[in-house]
A and B are shown apart, each in its own frame.
Chain A
Amino acid sequence: ELKEEFTRILTANNPHAPQNIVRYSFKKGAYKPVGYVDQMAVHFSMNGNMIPKDSDEGRRQSIRSGSSAGRHNDFQIEKASVESSAVTSEEAEIKDEESTGDTKAAEEKETEEPGTTEAAETAEVEEPPPPKVKEQKLANQFNFIERASRTLNNPMRERACQSEPTPCKDFSDTVYQWKIYDAYMEELKEMEKSKEKEKPKAQVSKRQEEKKEKKKKKGRKLTSLEIQVSDDMNKISRAAKLMERMVNQNTFDDIAQDFKYFEDVSDEYRNQQGTLLPLWKFKYGKTKRLAVTAISWNPKYKDLFAAGYGSYDFMKQGEGMLVLYTMKNPSFPEYVFSSESGVMCLDFHNDHPNLMAVGFYDGTVAVYNLKKATSQPSYKSGAKTGKHTEPVWQVKWQKDDMDNNLNFFSVSSDGRIVSWTLVKNELVHTDVIKLSAKGTTMQGPEGLQLQTFGCGTSFDFHKKIDWLFLVGTEEGKIYKCSKCYSSQFLDVFEAHQMAVDSVSWNPYHLKVFISCSSDWTVKIWDHTIKTPMFVYDLKCAVGDVAWSPYSSTVFAAVTIDCKAHVFDLNINKYESLCNQLVVVRKKNKATHIQFNPVYPVVIVGDEHGHVTSLKLSPNLRKMPK
């Protein structure tokens, strides 16, 4: 390998030049190799200042140097010439030249610099006077002459005046979306107000009435159109109410939880039997001596119910009360109304949940309006207006009559069923039926034939068939009547041995109704059949019976020995599913029972004035398929 021969070629190529240069071509959009690469290599370069003789500048210089060269030559002849001195003199010449040039320029100005001119003159004198070549003056473009003068400076004195700063106040606020919203709402209200003022007054009052009807019963909303708040304390009425309920919720927390969420799991093992879980107990101090004579749920507010207080005892008749409780506040009632005689029955109007019809022991009926703040009834019947002569046992609202007047029916022991209509401000009564007891015409004094009347103790209207209703009497008979026929009954059922305490149509099966009586029995009938379909002997006088709103086969009854019985015909036709002590036993009797239309709760009233609420266990709540 050492013996390999390498050829060396002498080329004219620049070894440092790159061999392949590429340039980007925008036309092609690609890199394109440049064909020829410059091979030139510069080894040495120097910038010089030689001017060619024939150019302008060259000629000028030669003229200038020519004159000095001439002088310079003379100098050389006259003086001892040493090259260096010649050089120096040349230099001096050049300097002189320069100074001459300067003086020449300066001569045009008027300031003199005697030094330089002298020097120039001396220079001139020194030199043999050659003919002065007219040199070109270096003139400036602007012919600028500086000329300045200076004035006296006046002493400066400061004089200031300061005013009081305008009072500034920092103001900041944060804008939230609701502030913007509020502003717009206000605008709207203003606009509406101005519109209202334009319209005639009659329309305005109508609109206000509508607004009042929309007003909620419980929450009194503080809108500008409604309540006028005069007192500081009144403003917090709503907040106070809310607070009371919350505090109550805290105290009765476990009950509230039970009410909502507790489901008795052991029902699965109980073989179709169910239980009633006690929830809240409602009582009011002033009703201590009174018995609960009627209970009813409000159709609109599902947690509000009314309890009427009075006395079943014939001898001890005293005052009565009407108290409304809500499940949201178990410790204190919402509304309290007192009356002179005991309340025997009450009913809420379906469409107007603020109206309640109440029947009293002394035979009067009254209508209370919950929206009004007074504790007196809005309408009351009196002796002149045809009140009953005996206690009113049941009242029920009916559909509005043709003039859109509200009306309700009442049944009483004096044997009359009366329809009351609210006309304007009065209660107008119409006798619908007189219950005549068949075969009881007696021979009165002077040979008059007296017709004794049966005493109605309860009635119920059919849900679908408007004119059909049932009346239970003290003799134990149930009459099927129609609103149209005033003297005759459609049918008679020999129901019980003793007074019929309650009759009720089944809400789903339109032919079936139930009745209960103090003769210890509860009977279920089909109104086309004379004999009862089912008979239950509860071994104790039955106070009240009620169908459940969620199932057509479930009903509950309370007996005087404080027990509640719940039956489900779907599951067990002969026995109750639940048979439970619901009220404290001591000298107490359970008087009424009602199902809550929405929640699985029943309320039971007793003779001590307490209302107990109970939750139905799942077994009792089975819906039919």
Chain B
Amino acid sequence: AEVEETLKRIQTHKGVVATMVINAEGVPVRTTLDNSSTVQNASLLRPLTEKARSAVRDLDPENDLTFLRIKSKKNEIMIAPGKISIKTTAE
């Protein structure tokens, strides 16, 4: 589908290391990273996204989280939340 293509494009984009798609329960649906890393990432990042969204909505209930970016020394993690979330790790 079109979405598949978009994901593929993201993956092949310059600088992108890995892409993961995680469903609402925190189970990875699709990933380009090895299993253990994926599970670890998923289990750590999911509660963080929930917390971030809770913070945003608490301040103003009509607001909602659209994007979350964590920039670290070595790389950058980008999270697009939704009913299913996508996370990309980029160098």
Contacts and interface: CB of A to CB of B under 8 A. Distances in A.
A233 B88 contact: no
A398 interface: no
Interface string B57-91: 11001100011010000001010111111101010
Nearest to B29: A232
B52 interface: no
B58 A176 contact: yes
**The 9 residue pairs across chains A and B that have the minimum distance between CB atoms:** A181-B61, A178-B57, A239-B80, A239-B82, A178-B61, A240-B6, A243-B80, A242-B80, A236-B84
Contact of B3 (A182, A233, A248): A233
A440 interface: no
Contacts of A231: 1
A177 interface: yes
Nearest to A180: B61
B10 A177 contact: no
Nearest to A182: B61
Nearest to B87: A243
Given A177-B61, A181-B61, A250-B15, A236 B78 contact: no
A182 B88 CA distance: 29
Interface in A506-523: none
B37 to A, nearest CB: 19
Contacts of B76: 250
B66 to A, nearest CB: 7
Contacts of A449: none
A241 interface: yes
Nearest to B23: A232
Contacts of B85: 236, 239
12 contacts: A232-B84, A233-B3, A235-B83, A236-B3, A236-B82, A236-B84, A237-B3, A239-B86, A242-B66, A243-B88, A246-B69, A332-B9
A331 B3 CA distance: 16
A231 B67 CA distance: 23
A105 interface: no
Q: Which of A181, A246, A331 has the most CB of B within 10 A?
A: A246
A238 interface: yes
Interface residues of B, number: 34
A235 B86 CA distance: 11
A182 B63 CA distance: 11
A247 interface: yes
A246 B87 CA distance: 11
Interface string A183-197: 000000000000000
A178 B6 CA distance: 32
A530 B23 CA distance: 70
Contact of B6 (A232, A244, A250): A244
Contact of B86 (A232, A240, A250, A332): A240
B21 interface: yes
A251 interface: yes
B85 to A, nearest CB: 6
Contact of B14 (A176, A239, A242, A251): A251
B54 to A, nearest CB: 6
B80 A176 contact: no
A331 B6 contact: no
A21 interface: no
Q: Which of A177, A239, A247, A248 has the most CB of B within 10 A?
A: A239
A234 interface: yes
Q: Which range contains the number of A residues in contact with the other chain?
A: 20 to 34
B18 interface: no
A244 B9 contact: yes
B34 interface: no
Contacts of A233: 1, 3-4, 21
Contacts, number: 90
B80 A240 contact: yes
Given A233-B3, A234-B3, A236-B21, A246 B80 contact: yes
A182 B58 CA distance: 11
A368 B67 CA distance: 32
Contacts of B57: 176-178, 181
Contacts of B33: none
Most chain B CB neighbours (cut-off 10 Å) among A176, A232, A236, A244: A236
A283 B90 CA distance: 24
Contacts of B78: 243, 246-247, 250
A181 to B, nearest CB: 3
Contacts of A181: 57, 61-62
Interface in A447-470: none
A94 interface: no
A69 interface: no
A250 B80 contact: no
A449 to B, nearest CB: 57
Contacts of A51: none
A234 to B, nearest CB: 6
Given A240-B10, A248-B13, 18 more contacts: A178-B58, A181-B57, A182-B61, A222-B82, A234-B3, A235-B82, A235-B84, A236-B21, A236-B86, A237-B3, A240-B3, A240-B7, A242-B66, A246-B69, A247-B90, A250-B78, A251-B15, A331-B9
Given A232-B29, A331-B9, A237 B2 contact: yes
Given A246-B69, A247-B16, A247-B90, A239 B54 contact: no
A445 B78 CA distance: 74
B91 to A, nearest CB: 10
A231 B88 CA distance: 22
A176 B54 contact: yes
A203 B91 CA distance: 53
Nearest to B13: A247
Contacts of B23: 232
Nearest to A252: B14
Interface string B1-41: 11110110110011110000101000001000000000000
A162 to B, nearest CB: 39
A243 B10 contact: yes
Interface in A324-357: 331-332
B38 to A, nearest CB: 16
Contacts of A251: 13-15
A177 B90 CA distance: 34
Contacts of A235: 82-84
A332 B86 CA distance: 19
